[in-house]
Amino acid sequence: MDFELLYGIVKIILIATTPLVFAGIGELVTEKSGVLNLGVEGMMLVGAVTAFVTLVITGNYILAFTFSILSGVIMSSLFAFLVLILMSNQIATGLALTIFGIGLSSMIGKNYIGTPIEGLSPWFFVIFSFVIVFFISYFFYKTKAGLILRAVGESHNSAHALGYGVLKIRFCSIIFGGAMCALAGSYMSICYAPMWQENMTAGRGWIALALVVFATWKPGRILIGAYIFGGVSILQMNFQAWGLSLPGQFFNMAPYLATLIVLVLISSNKLRVKLSAPASLTIPFFKGR
C-alpha cells in the first residue's frame, strides 16, 4: 500500500469519527452523573438542522454553532425537567426526545434540503475532540468537582447526605451532554457533509450510546471505541472501492454489526459491566416525603 493512499484513509477516518467522539463524550458525562439519555440521535439531528438553517440565513459560522449548541441545551433541559423534576422513566423519555427530534428537525429543514453551503474545514473540531476528551478525563479523575459528579452517579443518597445538590449536578451533566450532541450534529451538517438531509445522522447517536458501554464509562476509551467504529465504516467504503464483490448494502451494515459484536464482547463479562457502570444509572432521585 502506498503512503499517499494510507494518508488519505487516515485523514478520512479522523474526519468521520469526530462526531462520534463529541456525542460519545457528552453522553458519558450525562451517564456518569446517573442519568441515561437515549435522546442523543434526536438532539444531534436538531443540532444539525439548527446550525445549517442559521448558516444559510445569516452566513455566519459562529452564530450557526452558537444557535446549534443552544438548541442542544434547550432539548436537554426539556429532558432534564422531565426526568429530574417529574421523575419520569428515563428510557421512555429519551426515546420520546429522539422521536420528537426526528420530527422537529425534518419539519425545520424541509425547505433546506439540497441548499448548497460552503463547508467549514473540520480540522479545528478534530483537534478539539481530542482536547475535550483529555479535559473530561482530567476533570473526572483530578478535580474535586469531577469526583462529586461521579459520586452523584454512584450513590445519589450518599451525595445528598453529604450536602451536594444532586439535581443541580445532574442538570448540568445533562445540559453538557445535550450541548455536545448538538455540536456533533452541527459538525456533521456544516463540516462533514456539508448539507442537510432528513435523518442524516443515520444512527450515529445510537452508536455513540453503544460507545459509552464499550468505553466502560471511562473517557479515554471513548476515543479508542470511536476510532474502531470510524475505521470500520470508512474501511468498508474502501473495500467497496477496491472491488470486493459483495452488494453495497452488506458493507453498509458493517458499522451496525460491529456495534453489535463489540457490545456482546464487552457485556459478556457481567462483573466488568456491573463494576464500571454508575450504580445509580436510570434510578430517579426523590428527596421529598
Q: To the nearest whole angstrom, how small is the minimum distance from the Cβ of residue 171 to other proteins?
A: 16
Within a 10 A sphere around the Cβ of 278, how many other Cβ atoms?
22
The answer to whether 144 contacts other proteins (rule: CB under 8 A) is no
Q: Which stretch binds other proteins (CB under 8 A): 51-59, 124-132, 147-155, 261-269?
A: 261-269
Q: Which amino acid is present at 161?
A: A
Site residues for other proteins, 145-204, by CB under 8 A, read: 198, 202-203
Q: HSE on the CB side for 166, CA within 13 Å?
A: 24
Residue of 96, 136, 182, 184 that binds other proteins (CB under 8 A): 96
| CB of 136 vs other proteins, minimal distance in Å | 22
Size of the site for other proteins (CB under 8 A): 48
Residue 245 sits in the site that holds other proteins (CB under 8 A):
no
Judged by CB under 8 A, which of 66, 216, 240, 267 binds other proteins? 267
Tell me the three cell numbers of residue 41: 440521535
Cell of 269: 463479562
The nearer residue to other proteins, 8 or 103, going by C-beta atoms, is 103
Contact 183, 124 (CB under 8 A): no
240 part of the interface to other proteins, by CB under 8 A: no
Residue 97 touching other proteins (CB under 8 A):
yes
**Under the criterion CB under 8 A, does residue 8 sit at the interface with other proteins?**
no
Q: Can you tell me the distance from the alpha carbon of 179 to that of 72, in angstroms, rounded to the nearest whole number?
A: 5
Closest alpha carbon to 93 in 164, 163, 20, 38:
38
Q: How many residues are present in the chain?
A: 289
Among 2-10, 26-34, 136-144, 259-267, which window interacts with other proteins (CB under 8 A)?
259-267
Interaction between residue 86 and other proteins (CB under 8 A): yes
Q: Which string of x and - marks every residue 109-138 that binds other proteins (by CB under 8 A)?
A: -x----------------------------
Give the angle subtended at the CA of 187 by the CAs of 250 and 135, to the nearest 5°.
105
DSSP category for residue 112: G
**Nearer to other proteins among residue 191 and residue 262 (C-beta):** 262
CA dihedral 79, 83, 84, 85 (to 10 degrees): 90
Binding mask 49-78 for other proteins (x = CB under 8 A): -----------------------------x
Q: How many helices (H) and strands (E) does the chain have?
A: 13, 0
Could you tell me which of 141, 154, 148, 159 has the C-alpha nearest to residue 218? 141
Of 274, 269, 272, 234, which Cα lies nearest the Cα of 254? 234
Cell 447526605 locates to: 161
- Which residues lie near other proteins (CB under 8 A)? 38, 78, 81-82, 86-89, 91-93, 95-97, 99-104, 106-107, 110, 198, 202-203, 206, 209-210, 213, 247, 249-250, 252-253, 256-257, 259-260, 263-264, 267-268, 270, 273, 286, 288-289
